[in-house]
A and B are shown apart, each in its own frame.
Chain A
Amino acid sequence: QVQLVQSGAEVKKPGSSVKVSCKVSGGTFSNYAISWVRQAPGQGLEWIGGIIPLLGTTNYAQKFYGRVTITADESTRTTYMELSRLRSEDTAVYYCARVGKAATLAGKLDYWGQGTLVTVSS
């Protein structure tokens, strides 16, 4: 059974960075992409970007280009999402999700992490 477990809640100052982790257990790690999605309080879902560990390729939404870096460590089956130059509007729950089709980001998000609340406040 595939499970995604994320790191704990973070409180950050404006202008700083946050790095959220997502550890995958079960299934094959490298073959399947991981997407990152966020949800601001009371708002909808927003796709941030993703990584295909097997290929080492990343893809980011234009909105986050230059501020987000997604990496993967195959030895620990962990994916990381780092967001820099934080502002109050980045306060949200950040989710990782597995793409259930090999070697692509263009597929169904079939397994999700539990979410990590990132609060940006001075």
Chain B
Amino acid sequence: DIQMTQSPSSLSASVRDRVTITCRASQSISTYLNWFQQKPGKAPKLLIYSASSLQSGVPSRFSGSGSETDFTLTISSLQPEDFATYYCQQSYGSPYTFGQGTNLEIK
């Protein structure tokens, strides 16, 4: 199985901060990488697919980059509604594994 490792596991930041979350794959996955946001008691929401494509309806302050094994999710200016848990997921090969999550908290 492809292992996905996110860092950091948790992060404290303030409104209007720029935040970056990293995801590393245990083998090359080209750009088959997706990012999700999840709030407590809710289903995950797709933010970014194919490493850098913004899902329809997602604010442009979210962006993704990377290829092969190293990927990043950047939030350019944190808004109050962005405090949540973020997951990466590879869609390169079955099983389509997720990272362990990054909990983004208010400082």
B100 engages A44 (CB within 8 Å): yes
A110 engages B98 (CB within 8 Å): no
B96 engages A108 (CB within 8 Å): no
**Segment at the interface with B among A71-79, A82-90, A111-119:** A111-119
Indicate if B8 sits at the interface (CB-CB under 8 A): no
CA distance A112 to B38 in the complex (A): 12
Q: For chain A, what secondary structure do more than half of its interface residues adopt (helix, strand, loop), or is it mixed?
A: strand
The number of A-B residue pairs with CB atoms under 8 Å apart is 64
Q: How large is the interface on B (under 10, 10 to 19, 20 to 34, 35 or more residues)?
A: 20 to 34
Query: Could you tell me the distance in whole angstroms from the C-beta of B42 to the nearest C-beta in chain A?
Result: 8
CA distance A108 to B85 in the complex (A): 18
Most chain A beta-carbon neighbours within 10 Å: one of B43, B50, B91? B43
Indicate if A15 sits at the interface (CB-CB under 8 A): no
CA distance A63 to B92 in the complex (A): 18
Q: Which residues of A contact B63 (CB under 8 A)?
A: none
Q: How many residues of A contact B (CB 8 A)?
A: 24
A47 engages B96 (CB within 8 Å): yes
CA distance A47 to B49 in the complex (A): 17
Q: Which residues of B contact A109 (CB under 8 A)?
A: 34, 36, 44, 46, 89
Q: Which residues of A contact B97 (CB under 8 A)?
A: 47
Q: Say whether, besides A106-B32, A108-B49, A45 and B94 are in contact (CB < 8 Å).
A: no
A binding-site residues for B, Cβ under 8 Å: 35, 37, 44-47, 49, 59, 61-63, 95, 97, 100, 105-110, 112-115
